[in-house]
């Protein structure tokens, strides 16, 4: 009876002895209730999710590197850089240190992948993982991000709303990205020539973006109309469709 809540239950039992089912329920609910602090459970859960995120991102990044190592464009460039740095010559040793062709091939592959990692900036969902992007650090840095956003927002209002300054390239691309409803990583994964096209067409102006959006929708409709798989799907929906009722006898 050292617990205050259990003392209240005990006093209530003395005053209402006829409610014995209620007494049993409260007694066992308190005895069998978990004693673990909820804050510890939340912390462990966040840490587990963060670890899963980090290792999952590393796996995606390694898959991207392995794929780029098979693309002729990047592979040839990496081999040329390795030859210039004399890295491939070191793998072909003679005498006692001579190794099998399989070992030499594996080492050359690792050299090519290392060069691709260092020379190619992978953007988007397959970029090199950063520890500050995981959930745990995002939660810890939330106050910092909020303050940073407020400072940036006040600066935007002061420069472009109050003073009426013209947008720079970064500001124009930011407005275009917001119109397209894309995340920063998705927008970064676009090719540079696509971003140049956005700037040439002045898509940071709402009217120009609406015209561009309609053009993209029309182009997508044309592609879908010419796609054989989409034609088969429309034909199936027209003739049969899901859950269509018929009166044909079996």
- In the predicted model, what is the mean pLDDT of residues 45-72? 87
Q: Are 69 and 78 in contact (CB under 8 A)?
A: yes
Q: What is the pLDDT of residue 154?
A: 95
Higher pLDDT, 189 or 248: 189
* pLDDT band at 123; cut points 50, 70, 90: low
- Of residues 23 and 184, more confidently modeled: 184
Mean pLDDT over the full length of the chain: 79
- The pTM is what? 0.58
Q: Is 74 left (phi over 0), alpha (psi -120 to 50) or beta?
A: alpha
Of the candidate ranges 14-18, 40-44, 62-66, 217-221, the one whose mean pLDDT is the lowest: 14-18
pLDDT of 240 above 60: no
């Amino acid at each position: 009876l050292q617990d205050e809540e259990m003392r209240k239950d005990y006093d209530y039992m003395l005053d209402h002895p006829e409610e014995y089912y209620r007494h049993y329920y409260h007694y066992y609910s308190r005895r069998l209730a978990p004693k673990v602090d909820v804050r510890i459970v939340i912390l462990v859960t966040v840490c587990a999710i963060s670890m899963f995120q980090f290792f999952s991102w590393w796996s995606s990044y390694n898959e991207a590197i392995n794929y780029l190592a098979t693309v002729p464009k990047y592979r040839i460039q990496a081999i040329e850089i390795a030859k210039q740095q004399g890295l491939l010559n070191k793998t072909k040793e003679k005498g006692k240190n001579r190794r099998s062709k399989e070992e030499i091939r594996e080492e050359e592959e690792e050299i090519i992948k290392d060069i691709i990692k260092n020379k190619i900036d992978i953007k988007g969902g397959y970029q090199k993982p950063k520890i500050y992007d995981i959930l745990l650090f995002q939660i810890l840095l939330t106050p910092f991000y909020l303050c940073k956003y407020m400072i940036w927002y006040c600066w935007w209002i002061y420069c472009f709303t109050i003073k009426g300054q013209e947008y720079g390239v970064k500001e124009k691309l930011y407005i275009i990205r917001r119109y397209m409803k894309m995340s920063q990583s998705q927008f970064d994964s676009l090719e540079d020539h696509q971003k140049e096209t956005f700037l040439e067409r002045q898509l940071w102006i709402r009217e120009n973006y609406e015209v561009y959006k309609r053009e993209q929708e029309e182009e997508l409709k044309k592609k879908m109309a010419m796609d054989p798989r989409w034609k088969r799907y429309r034909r199936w929906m027209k003739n049969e469709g899901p859950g269509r009722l018929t009166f044909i006898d079996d």
